[in-house]
Structure formats: structure tokens, C-alpha cells
Amino acid sequence: MGYGLRSDVPVLVNSDTAFDIVSNHYRAFDLEPGPDSSMDLKVWVPQNNRFGTFLALIQLLTTFADQETVLVVNHGMSDKDDNPLGLILPLTSGSRWNPEEYTLGLLAGFVDKTPSDSDYTDAEKNSSMQDAHGHKIPMPAGTLKPLDTALRALRAKKLLKRLELRACNLGGNDTVMKLLAKVLGLSAIVAPKVHMFYSALPAAGLPPGDAAGFARWQNHHRRARTFTEDVASSPRHVGIQITGKHAARSMDFNTDNIDVKWFIEKYVCVGSHYVARAPGRGAMVAPFSFSGMDVNNSFALAREDDYTAQLVEVTP
């Protein structure tokens, strides 16, 4: 984990409903680990923090630039061999183009220049890509100018210094990271070099078990990680199994005690306001969420060293 704490870091989140869990997670747990090379983040979730295009993200970054550091959560984009390419995020409304090396390179080429309308038009006319079926997709006319205008407005403020991205795999592409830093006017950018995830218990919670029930669950979930309370006698246990990746990822959870506050404090967020429910007939484990990184065919949770070890910091 980081060596200090950056305070008042706003969280901006993709507007897809699949990301609703992310905003809810950071409302409940306001500490996000930073890379070993920098500080951890004390975050907050603004009321209007969602974006659906790269243009909208730039505009939100401009709004919150005076915070100097912003946390952004979005899908990373990879090729069929899982090599990171950029972000899955339409450049503008209705666009099939995303911020990846080619488009970011075009925008980086406008930095410190004064392009004319014809410069934008020529760049768009000379740009095309192929979809998964080999169909040619030209860059829509009118794409580059609004993006470049918004980027210039952001850079002109000279306030945003650091972008903490939580986007799968992106940290493994040094070129794209540097291009993003250049067009956004950053001093540093951070992203994971592996796939990551956010998961949560159902809103109603889950029933706790006992020692025997937990042992049976372990026998049926051989790939699960078991977390054991660090006490001398009668430690409590939590088991989590993550299966699959991306949209097909699922989570199985079990515990031998209704009170998992110890687990939250050690593995999710220290000093949280999580309140465990009292034991009783029909009582459920109070729901909570957590984030993780894929590591060595398993996973690491936010307060583990293997989580922060996956975060890559790049300076332009």
C-alpha cells in the first residue's frame, strides 16, 4: 500500500448500470489503496459522477480538476490475446471508436499546436478501423474537434495532476498510459496491470453458518480462499471463491459467524462504518462489497500487498 494519504479524491464511474456497485462501494468504504510508489486515496462520491463517453469523462475531469487527483473506474480494453489496448468507452455519443493508441495518438498530435478545422477533418478522413468481422469503420466526421477543445480546456486549468484509473489490464500498456497522461495534461497516471473486479453480497445479506457448515462449503469450493481471524483461540473464518472473468465472473461466499467486521477491517477498508448484525433466528450477515485483483489464478483484496503490487504508475 501507499506511504501516505491523499484526501478528498473524487470518484468518477462509467454510467453503465454494471458499474452501480462501484459508486455504492466507495460510498461505504472510502479508502482506496494506491501504488507502493505513492499514496493511498481517501475518496468521496460526487452526486453527478457518471460518464458514458470519453468526452463526458474529460468534461467531468475538468469540473473536478481542482482536486488535483481523481479516481476513475471504467472497463479496460484488450485484444483476443488479452493485451491491453485502451479503454472501452465511446469517444463521443454514438461512436464506435474508443480511446486507444491510435485515437489518443491523434489527439496527442494536437497538443501545443493550433489545428484548423481542416486539420481535424483531414485526420478523420484518413482514419478507419476494422470491427471483429473485418468491416471497415471510418471515424465519424466531427469527432476530433470537440474532444481536442475539451482537452485544451482541461489542460489550460493546469490543476489536474494525477489520474488513478481502475481499468482492467491498462497498466500493462505503457504507450497508452503515456498518451493519456499527455492529452489530459497529467504528471502521473496509475492503472492495474491485471484484471480487477468489484463484488458484493446480496442486499439482504447471506445466512451465516457454523464450523461444520463452513467445512462442508470448503469441500465444495476447492478453489476458494479462506480468510482466518488473527486471534489466539476460536478464530472466525470467511471463504470467498471467484469464478470466471469479465461479465461472466461470479462470487461465492461463506462464513462461520455473522460478525465479519474483523474481515472488513483487515481486507476491505480499515476504519469503515460497517456494522455487523446481531446473531438471532433468521439473522443474515450484513451485506458489504469489496474490490479485488486477479493474481496467480486467484485474487487479492484491497488491503493486501498483492493488490497494490498490480498498480503501475507512469509519468509522461
Q: Is the pLDDT of residue 113 over 90?
A: yes
**Tens digit of pLDDT for each residue in 205-220?**
999 999 999 999 999 9
Residues 124 and 244 in one domain: no
Residue 308, in any domain of the structure: no
Q: Which 3 state secondary structure label does DSSP give 62?
A: helix
Domain finish residue from 137, 170, 194: 194
316 to each of 105, 172, 183, 252, 304, how far by Cα in Å? 14, 15, 10, 41, 28
| Domain match, 111 and 144 both | yes
Residues 177 and 255 in one domain: no
User: CA-to-CA distance for 193 and 34, rounded, in angstroms?
Assistant: 13
Nearest to 57 by CA among 3, 8, 14, 87: 14
Report pLDDT digits (tens) over 50-92.
999 999 999 999 999 999 999 999 999 999 999 999 999 999 9
25 within domain boundaries: yes
Whether the per-residue pLDDT at 222 is higher than 90: the answer is yes
* Residue 229 in domain: yes
Total structural domains in the chain? 2
Same domain, 106 and 165: yes
Do residues 89 and 137 both lie within one domain? yes
Q: pTM surpassing 0.85?
A: yes
Question: Mean of the pLDDT values across residues 140-167?
Answer: 98
Given a cut of 80, is residue 296 above it in pLDDT?
yes
What separation in angstroms does the CA of 114 have from each of 147, 249, 253?
Answer: 14, 46, 56
Q: Are 192 and 166 in contact (CB under 8 A)?
A: yes
Same domain, yes or no: 217 and 157: no
The SS3 of residue 233 is coil
The answer on pLDDT for 132 being more than 90 is: no
Please check the confidence at residue 151 and state whether its pLDDT lies above 90: yes
User: Do 73 and 190 share a structural domain?
Assistant: yes
What range defines the domain where residue 81 resides?
5-194
229-240: per-residue pLDDT in tens? 999 899 999 999
Based on the fold, state whether residues 56 and 169 are members of the same structural domain: yes
